[in-house]
């Protein structure tokens, strides 16, 4: 995606946005890593969120949905790693609400203005004593420089923090969008163990922010997969504090589209970082499906290929084996005409009209050794398209997931 007329901020993060503060600490949930974070945005705000569709949605997801149904003025998000608070029943929901109550005391804001997020091992309850310790420490250390620590503290077994910020000048004022994210294992969001927190100083209504977030998530995080496993805790939260006093509304198409392209770029960048960091991945694979009947069919085909274990292991082995792509694409419920399908590695045709074609194997081999690999699947039946990001599966994938408990 092109950057258009906005500027990527070097070393940008969520607290790059004016009026956004954060603090992190080690409260003892994890053995030694920072494991607790507070993001704090005082004053009048507008918040929107999208959440996992997993039937075992975690307690924080359930509580946040309830909160946002009645109130969109969110001043704080408290986040812990090491414990997911998922599959914990009524007690898990009550503990999430108690944690919010404790946060209310230390942050001096109404509980209805606080969201909660958790990530880590499923089935374990929130240790409220440690949560309180974290809140006591973080409430005293909130800073406009705290975003980088926050990006690290929300991680579980991710290797690298994921943070990004951009700036765009609208109506002679600087609008900023900044965010942090985590995700490495159990990543195939369908929103509406991936967490994303965003802030902007734009002034925007609840309804417009909802539309923008849903549309941008659908084109970014809902189009990535590292292992085809949907988390119980997925959420994306965006908070607008309006400090710039620049209104974003649909009637002003120019401003609206510029802001939208900015938000889309931030989300796309964070999503790509998650795929790059996924589970011992050595390759980032882009699958472009074109010529589908519609976008839904294109995404279905792309996701089926992206989640094929045989395809992903072939990418690790730098083995083109394009038959695995064709096999995965043909296994969808969609009524694909196999006699029309073409497959390309970069611009090299490897299958034409559903049949093998001769190609330069040496050239293909060089491309497969690259960190970034691009495939195109043309169904040749319509104008629908989708772009899916995934990665390979390496030996490290087994190690990371087999030893997940020990890496806490």
pLDDT tens string 293-351: 999 999 999 999 998 999 999 999 999 999 999 999 999 988 999 999 999 999 999 99
Model pTM?
Answer: 0.89
**Segments of the chain assigned to CATH 3.60.70.12:** 7-276
Give Cα 75 distance to the centre of its chain: 21
Q: How many residues does the chain have?
A: 408
Residues of the chain with pLDDT under 50: 1-3, 185-188, 191-192
Assigned CATH topology for domain 7-276 = 3.60.70
Q: Is 346 left (phi over 0), alpha (psi -120 to 50) or beta?
A: left
**Segments of the chain assigned to CATH 3.10.20.340:** 284-392
Helix 89-107 to helix 59-70 angle (10° resolution) is 60
**What's the pLDDT score for residue 102?**
98
Helix 309-316 to helix 323-330 angle (10° resolution) is 160
Which candidate, 368, 367, 349, places its Cα nearest to that of 359?
A: 349
| Distance between CA atoms of residues 219 and 226, nearest Å | 16
Whether 119 is a known active-site residue: answer no
| Distance between CA atoms of residues 362 and 365, nearest Å | 5
**What's the pLDDT score for residue 403?**
64
Handedness of CA 390, 396, 398, 400 (dihedral sign): negative
131's tokens: 């949560």
**What's the pLDDT score for residue 159?**
79
**What's the pLDDT score for residue 54?**
86
Distances (CA, A) of 395 to 51, 144, 284, 312, 316: 31, 40, 16, 12, 9
Distances (CA, A) of 311 to 40, 172, 225, 372: 43, 49, 13, 15
* Catalytic site residue from 193, 200, 232, 376: 193
Helix 206-219 to helix 253-276 angle (10° resolution) is 40
Q: Are 76 and 109 in contact (CB under 8 A)?
A: yes
| Distance between CA atoms of residues 397 and 122, nearest Å | 19
**What's the pLDDT score for residue 1?**
42
Assigned CATH topology for domain 284-392 = Ubiquitin-like (UB roll) (3.10.20)
| Distance between CA atoms of residues 363 and 359, nearest Å | 8
């Amino acid at each position: 995606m092109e950057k258009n007329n906005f500027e990527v901020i070097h070393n940008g993060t969520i607290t790059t946005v004016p009026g956004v503060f954060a603090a992190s600490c080690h409260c003892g949930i994890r053995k030694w890593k920072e494991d607790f974070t507070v993001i704090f945005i005082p004053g009048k705000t507008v918040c929107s969120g999208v959440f996992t569709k997993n039937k075992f949605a975690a307690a924080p997801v359930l509580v946040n949905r309830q909160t946002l149904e009645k109130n969109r003025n969110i001043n704080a998000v408290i986040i812990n790693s090491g414990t997911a608070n998922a599959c914990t029943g009524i007690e898990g929901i009550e503990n999430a609400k108690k944690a919010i109550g404790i946060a209310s005391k230390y942050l001096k804001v109404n509980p209805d203005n606080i969201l909660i997020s958790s990530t880590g091992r499923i089935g374990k309850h929130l240790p409220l004593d440690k949560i309180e310790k974290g809140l006591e420490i973080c409430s005293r250390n909130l800073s406009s420089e705290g975003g980088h620590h926050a990006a690290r503290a929300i991680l579980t077994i991710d290797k690298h923090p994921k943070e990004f910020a951009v700036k765009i000048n609208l109506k002679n004022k600087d609008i900023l969008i900044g965010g942090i994210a985590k995700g490495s294992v159990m990543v195939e969001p369908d929103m509406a163990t991936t967490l994303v927190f965003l802030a902007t100083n734009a002034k925007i209504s609840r309804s417009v922010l909802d539309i923008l977030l849903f549309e941008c998530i659908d084109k970014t995080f809902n189009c990535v997969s590292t292992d085809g496993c949907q988390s119980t805790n997925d959420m994306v939260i965006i908070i607008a504090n309006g400090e710039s006093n620049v209104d974003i509304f649909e009637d002003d198409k120019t401003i609206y589209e510029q802001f939208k392209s900015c938000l889309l770029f931030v989300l796309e960048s964070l999503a790509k970082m998650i795929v790059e960091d996924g589970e011992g991945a050595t390759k980032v694979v882009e699958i472009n499906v074109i010529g589908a009947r519609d976008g839904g069919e294109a995404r279905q085909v792309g996701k089926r290929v992206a989640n094929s274990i045989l395809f992903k292991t072939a990418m690790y082995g730098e083995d083109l084996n394009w038959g695995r792509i064709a096999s995965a694409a043909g296994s969808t419920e969609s009524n694909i005409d196999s006699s029309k399908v073409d497959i390309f590695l970069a611009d090299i045709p490897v299958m034409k009209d559903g049949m093998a074609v001769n190609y330069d194997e040496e050239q293909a081999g060089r491309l497969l050794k690259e960190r970034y690999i691009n495939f195109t699947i043309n169904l040749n039946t319509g104008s629908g398209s989708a772009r899916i990001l995934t990665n390979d599966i390496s030996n490290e994938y087994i190690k990371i997931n087999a030893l997940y408990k020990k890496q806490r």
